């Protein structure tokens, strides 16, 4: 009789062990001659040398499947332990498998173009209206790079600019005040990484979410860096951010130039950067359109209504200007 200690890496123990340890109970039933106990990311097994060796091999195969797909169904456990390769869930254009095995992929031509531009360039701009999946897709690409060991960490940032509300009136300390601005980034991560694993990544600074101001003075190596809502940066802020790019890193900058919350006299750093960096080698750009909106179908109609309204306002203002000039 020997005792083996098997460490399951890169998986969420809750997902691997199943609800109420249902998966580990199934594994125990399929290896009736072994005694086993699971605690955290370590499984201890006692039994015959050859059978414990086979058990360790099967556990690593199950862990690989769970790390890839973020799920571990009963039929996969049974097939793997009985020596039948589990059916692969591979689908074309899947970026990463989210929580419960949900495939996340580019759903529109422009979303697929963003995936391509990210692969080809170290800095990619993703521009377009609300609901086109810019932020969600950028986070998915970052998570894939982390899972594939193409990067050691993920840095997600947003400018803390009020959209009609005042930061000072929010309750709590500075972290409590800042977190609501970063919530869309948390939401995307929670869709793609099991809760326990996400908590571990954040506690170990493998995934960092911070306001733009916290980026000053840093050089970000071997990282995927995402700047969201970049239209609300100033020219100095976006220059500071873009120059944080370190060796082995990639950066995605997302923004919507029609939703600028800066004071009226302040130039948007995103618009300025796009003009300054036009034609620079190594920089990609994807412009999303209304047809790329993947939220509720009403969102597309709302965006179109606002566009019509602003066009009518501009036409009305131009007509008034022309009338005044004629009267003069």
- Distance CA(53)–CA(237), nearest Å, equals 56
What order do you get walking across the sheet with 153-158 strand by strand? 207-211, 153-158, 223-227, 250-255, 123-127, 283-287
Backbone angles phi, psi at 60, to 5 degrees: -65, -35
Where the chain has pLDDT below 50, the residues are 163-167, 174
Task: Give the angle 102-103-106 at the CA atoms, nearest 5°.
Answer: 140
- Contact status, residue 252 vs residue 118, Cβ threshold 8 Å: yes
Task: Provide the pLDDT for residue 166.
Answer: 47
CB atoms within 10 A of CB 48: 13
Helix then strand count (H, E) for the chain reads 11, 11
- Specify the pLDDT at position 163: 44
Read off the pLDDT of residues 32-74 as tens digits, 9 standing for 90 and up: 999 999 988 899 999 999 999 999 999 999 998 888 888 888 9
DSSP state of 202: H
């Amino acid at each position: 009789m020997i005792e083996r200690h098997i460490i399951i890496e890169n998986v969420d123990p809750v997902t691997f062990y199943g609800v109420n340890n249902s998966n580990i109970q199934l594994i125990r039933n399929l290896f009736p001659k072994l005694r086993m106990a699971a605690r955290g990311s370590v499984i201890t097994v006692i039994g015959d040398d050859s059978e414990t060796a086979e058990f360790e091999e099967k556990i690593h195969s199950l862990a690989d499947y769970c790390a890839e797909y973020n799920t571990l169904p009963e039929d996969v456990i049974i097939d793997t332990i009985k020596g039948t390769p589990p059916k692969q869930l591979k689908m074309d254009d899947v970026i990463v498998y989210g929580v419960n095995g949900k495939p996340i992929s580019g759903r529109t031509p422009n979303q697929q173009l963003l995936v391509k531009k990210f692969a080809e360039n170290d800095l990619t701009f993703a521009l377009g209206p609300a609901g086109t999946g810019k932020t969600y897709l950028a986070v998915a690409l970052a998570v894939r790079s982390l899972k594939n060991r193409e990067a050691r960490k993920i840095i997600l940032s947003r400018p803390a600019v009020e959209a009609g509300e005042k930061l000072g009136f929010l309750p709590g300390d500075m972290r409590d005040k800042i977190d609501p601005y970063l919530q869309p980034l948390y939401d995307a991560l929670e869709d793609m990484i099991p809760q326990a694993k996400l908590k571990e990544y954040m506690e170990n600074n493998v995934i960092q979410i911070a306001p733009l101001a916290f980026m000053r003075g840093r050089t970000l190596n071997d990282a995927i860096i995402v700047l969201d809502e970049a239209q609300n940066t100033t020219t100095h802020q976006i220059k500071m951010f873009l120059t944080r790019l370190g060796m082995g890193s990639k950066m995605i900058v997302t923004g919507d130039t029609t939703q600028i919350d800066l004071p009226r006299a302040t130039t948007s750093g995103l618009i300025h950067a796009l003009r300054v960096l036009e034609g620079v080698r190594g920089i990609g750009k994807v412009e999303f359109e209304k047809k790329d909106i993947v939220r509720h179908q009403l969102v597309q109609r709302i965006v179109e209504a606002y566009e019509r309204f602003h066009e009518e306002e501009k036409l009305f203002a131009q007509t008034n200007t022309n009338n005044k000039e004629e009267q003069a």
